[in-house]
Amino acid sequence: MSVNRWDPKAKKPPKGFNYLVPVLSALENELRDKVRESNAGKRNTESMWPVHQINWQRSRYVYDLYYTHGKISKKVYDYCIKNKLVDAALIAKWKKPGYERLCSTYVINPNNYKFGTTSICRVPLKDRSPEQMTAQDPTTGCRGCSSGIGQHRNIFGNKYGQNLAAVQIAREKRMEEIEQKRLREEAEANNTAAASAAAAGGGDSETDDDSDDDDYGPTPAAWASEGGKLEKESERLAEGGEEDVDDDYEQPAKKLKTSS
């Protein structure tokens, strides 16, 4: 994505802006494809729906990441505003009561509608007649962006009405849970292997009850004479590893029991 497409003299993006780039790039490419798409079979105003809807989704994505989820810094947010990567006028309306879900500043301009009114999408569903329940704004395609209970969750009824910030946060949490689960399973596997190795290493000594002298393990002197190899080997087994075995190491010979 070219972050300087509107301002060739724009400064370098601040730290953390790369967090936004994948989604902003995808939306920019989507908008470009929709503009080039044929308008055959569409009403004149309907051809402009993707422009308004993608503009809303892109602005909402940055707005929610900053104000709702706190995932980006103020420098990144201000950079997006200054370089017109988002609709600053629309975001300013979202901060006012009653306009939290506004689809476009176009629908609240009385000059754009007959009799000096606003769009049908600004009328709450509870105040509409049965014939108006499925009505959409002819310019933006919005089904209803008024605030309050009982309104459409997806104001456009398509993928452009999705809350991309919430989707991204949920995906990140899911990936974090999967990673934590993998680490727990790996730790449990290592503990099981270590316990098995410890049980196998102590099995021989428990079966020998004749005398204390009949010992299959090395004597303290042999332990020291091996230059620490046996000590390292025991530590490796306690951690559950079995691959890095020293080929040069030879098990000390079993002490032969001498007859008195």
pLDDT 10s digits, 74-105 = 999 999 999 999 999 999 999 999 999 999 99
pLDDT at 223: 45
- Is the predicted pLDDT of residue 257 greater than 80, yes or no? no
Q: Is 2 exposed, middle or buried (0-12, 13-18, 19+ CB in 10 A)?
A: exposed
- Is the predicted pLDDT of residue 251 greater than 90, yes or no? no
3-class secondary structure, 115: helix
3-class secondary structure, 171: helix
Query: Measured between alpha carbons, how far is 168 from 172 in angstroms, rounded to an integer?
Result: 6
pLDDT at 42: 81
Residues 188-210 have a mean pLDDT of 74
3-class secondary structure, 187: helix
CB–CB of 48/29 below 8 Å?
no
Query: Measured between alpha carbons, how far is 26 from 6 in angstroms, rounded to an integer?
Result: 17
Where is average pLDDT lowest: 113-117, 149-153, 180-184, 202-206?
Answer: 202-206
H helix intervals, 37-163: 49-63, 74-82, 88-94
Report percent pLDDT > 90 for the chain: 60
Compare 66 and 233 and report the one with higher pLDDT. Answer: 66
What sign does the dihedral 75-80-84-90 (CA atoms) show?
Answer: negative
Confidence label for 114 from pLDDT (cuts 50, 70 and 90):
confident
CB–CB of 80/63 below 8 Å?
no
- Is the predicted pLDDT of residue 219 greater than 60, yes or no? no
Backbone angles phi, psi at 170, to 5 degrees: -65, -40
- Is the predicted pLDDT of residue 23 greater than 70, yes or no? yes
The radius of gyration computed from the CA coordinates of the chain, to the nearest angstrom, equals: 34
pLDDT at 233: 56
- Is the predicted pLDDT of residue 185 greater than 50, yes or no? yes
3-state helix, strand, coil in the chain (%, to 5): 55, 0, 45
Q: pLDDT for 43-76, tens place per residue?
A: 888 888 999 999 999 999 999 999 999 999 999 9
Cα 5 to Cα 31, 47, 58, 85, 102: the distances in Å are 14, 24, 16, 9, 27
pLDDT at 41: 80
